[in-house]
Amino acid sequence: MRLRNCAAALCLFFLAKAAPCLGQDAIKIVDQHVKAAGGAKALSRIRTLRLEGTISGADGGKPGTFTLETKLPNRYYSEIIFGDKHLIEAYNGKSAWREDASGSISTMLGPDASRMEAAAQIANSRLVNLKKNKLAVSFIGHAQVRGNDALQIEVTTATGAKEEIFFDPQSHWIVKETIPLGAVNEDILYSEYRAEDGVQLPHKIEIHRGDDAFSIEVTRATVNAPAGERVFDLPLSSQVKLPDLKALFKEIDENQKALDKIKENYAGTRTEDETQYDGSGKVKKHTLNEYTFFYLDGEEISTLVKKDGKPLSETEEKKETEEARKRVEVIQNRQAKKDAKAEKAKEEGKDEKNGDDPGIEIFLRTSQFVNPRRERFRGQDVLVFDFEGNPEYKPKNLAERIVQKLAGVVWIDEKAHDVARLEAYFAGDAKIAGGLLATIQKGTSVVYEQAFLNDEVWLPTYMEAHGGARVLLVKGFHVSEVVHYSDYKRYHVDVQSAVGAPKTP
């Protein structure tokens, strides 16, 4: 996988659809809550928040401890220690991680990671300025919380993660949050609000998760106390020394160039499940398309074969075939020009450098790397580390400006010299042509996985992307896409026939 292609893929993916504004009923409920909680100005001043408390059990045993800490823009740390229950969950702005009762520490994946990222974003936003914080809200209806009426809304983040929040219709304070955990939900109930530094905070909390229930009395609430990044990062005991990244990335880049030729012996199927949302997080449009594809010069050449489960018409098939043929010609002509340029440079005794292919080293220039650890992933030993933009580096071109905006986590198979998984999101808006052409919005994210097949080649297996963009200063959209790659077959593809059926060797 080419990490340098991550930014380009995001740019291409988020440049095409449109969406309207937020649900007014839900906005009114949120506005009332913000005012009752202390007002937008007071809530916006919260940079850090720390709640400490004791956990009491039904059996009257030894009390446990509870700690919740948040820090702008998106840090989150939750700790429960009670008897043999020991659970730490955190999001450090790049990756989500947990520590269980055995002391085992692991990086969260999939829905668990999305849940933690959403919890961090919602908690730090305080539900102030929904549009700026890329949060969509919709009114669900009336519900019962502890036998009392409550107003229920659904909050959707830029990544598509959802959380339900319940408000008291009289006080307008939050009385309950419901967070989906797959087979079960986590319900968090709040009560006994008191003012702390001008904002209303709960001093009684109940957490229900599956068969576990914790009753918490908040004994200390601290607003805007210093909080270092170490609070949210993985424990030092779980970390390892990073290898020479320059050498590692060089190996990955060279390996990828070799794999690009092997990939040309493979063809497969790709399904794209795309959902467009309106401003309230409700589905606006849904499409499910299926493609066949092969590789040429490291790029996918795709042909649409089904739209929403239905085969294409004869006319549509011809159009798809012609478009794929043109794409093949473009790539072949481009490669011919590169070869001719390289040959001329060789004749003149010059060292021809590929200036339009910056390589993975662009991340070395624009990013910084933290929290290295070794874990198991899909049955393999991998090196995992977080990355984020290096604020001290001044980008020199568009590619560097975009990559510097990315933060996330990467899983690297050192033995096979390639990337097994990448999660990245835009930590800030990424503007193209100063925002005149397009702006990829903060929070826009991508997940990419690939696998080592037939003991010879890395091929993509999964991709998902969520987020929004604004095009030409006017059109805005919010879209999610999930892509599955399957049915890989080792074929020799006759590119001279453009997109004819793959032929066996």
Provide the residue range defining the domain that includes 199.
37-236
**pLDDT grade for 436, boundaries at 50, 70 and 90:** low
Residue linked to tokens 């910056």: 358
Domain-located, residue 328: no
Residues sharing a CB contact under 8 Å with residue 211, sequence separation 6 or more, in sequence order: none
- Please check whether residues 294 and 176 belong to one and the same domain: no
Three-state DSSP state, 186: strand
When pLDDT is averaged across residues 17-21 and rounded to a whole number, the result is 37
> What is the token pair recorded at 470?
């604004």
* pLDDT (tens digit per residue) in 164-201: 999 999 999 999 999 887 667 889 999 999 999 999 99
Contact yes or no for 156/162 (Cβ under 8 A): yes
pLDDT at position 75 over 50: yes
Three-state DSSP state, 77: strand
Domain-located, residue 58: yes
- Please check whether residues 396 and 273 belong to one and the same domain: yes
- Please check whether residues 166 and 255 belong to one and the same domain: no
* pLDDT (tens digit per residue) in 147-170: 999 999 999 887 778 899 999 999
> Taking the C-alpha atoms of 424, 429, 433 and 437 in order, what is their torsion angle to the nearest 10 degrees?
90
Q: What confidence score (pLDDT) does residue 51 get?
A: 95
- Please check whether residues 408 and 432 belong to one and the same domain: yes
pLDDT at position 298 over 90: no
- Please check whether residues 371 and 289 belong to one and the same domain: yes
Domain-located, residue 440: yes
- Please check whether residues 143 and 262 belong to one and the same domain: no
Instruction: Give the domain-ending residue among 197, 212, 236.
Output: 236
Domain-located, residue 416: yes
Contact yes or no for 220/52 (Cβ under 8 A): yes
Q: What confidence score (pLDDT) does residue 476 get?
A: 60
Per cent of the chain over pLDDT 90 is: 42
- Please check whether residues 72 and 11 belong to one and the same domain: no
Domain-located, residue 226: yes
pLDDT at position 88 over 70: yes
- Residue type at 271 in one-letter notation: T
Residue ranges of E strands in 278-379: 283-296, 299-307, 310-311, 367-377
Q: pTM of the full predicted structure?
A: 0.75
**pLDDT grade for 22, boundaries at 50, 70 and 90:** very low
Instruction: Give the domain-ending residue among 221, 236, 251.
Output: 236
Contact yes or no for 166/179 (Cβ under 8 A): no
Pairing of strands 430-432, 367-377: unpaired
Q: Which of 9, 420, 459, 484 is nearest to 260 (CA)?
A: 459
- Residue type at 145 in one-letter notation: V
Across 54-68, 89-103, 349-363, the highest mean pLDDT is recorded for: 89-103
Give dist(CA 475, CA 467) in Å, integer: 14
CATH code of residue 374 = 2.50.20
More confident: 281 or 62: 62
- Please check whether residues 408 and 422 belong to one and the same domain: yes
**pLDDT grade for 16, boundaries at 50, 70 and 90:** very low
- Please check whether residues 157 and 204 belong to one and the same domain: yes
* pLDDT (tens digit per residue) in 228-283: 888 899 888 888 888 888 888 888 888 888 888 888 899 999 999 998 877 666 78
- Residue type at 158 in one-letter notation: A
Give dist(CA 298, CA 223) in Å, integer: 52
Q: What confidence score (pLDDT) does residue 236 get?
A: 83
pLDDT at position 42 over 90: yes
Residues sharing a CB contact under 8 Å with residue 457, sequence separation 6 or more, in sequence order: 259, 262, 263, 266
- Please check whether residues 226 and 180 belong to one and the same domain: yes
- Please check whether residues 368 and 430 belong to one and the same domain: yes
pLDDT at position 500 over 80: no
Average pLDDT, the chain: 84
Residues sharing a CB contact under 8 Å with residue 201, sequence separation 6 or more, in sequence order: 49, 51, 193, 194, 195, 218, 221
- Please check whether residues 214 and 294 belong to one and the same domain: no
> Taking the C-alpha atoms of 85, 91, 96 and 101 in order, what is their torsion angle to the nearest 10 degrees?
-10
Domain-located, residue 339: no
Instruction: Give the domain-ending residue among 236, 263, 282.
Output: 236
Contact yes or no for 369/385 (Cβ under 8 A): yes
- Residue type at 119 in one-letter notation: A
Domain-located, residue 342: no
Domain-located, residue 495: no
Query: Structurally, how many domains does the chain consist of?
Result: 2
**pLDDT grade for 14, boundaries at 50, 70 and 90:** very low
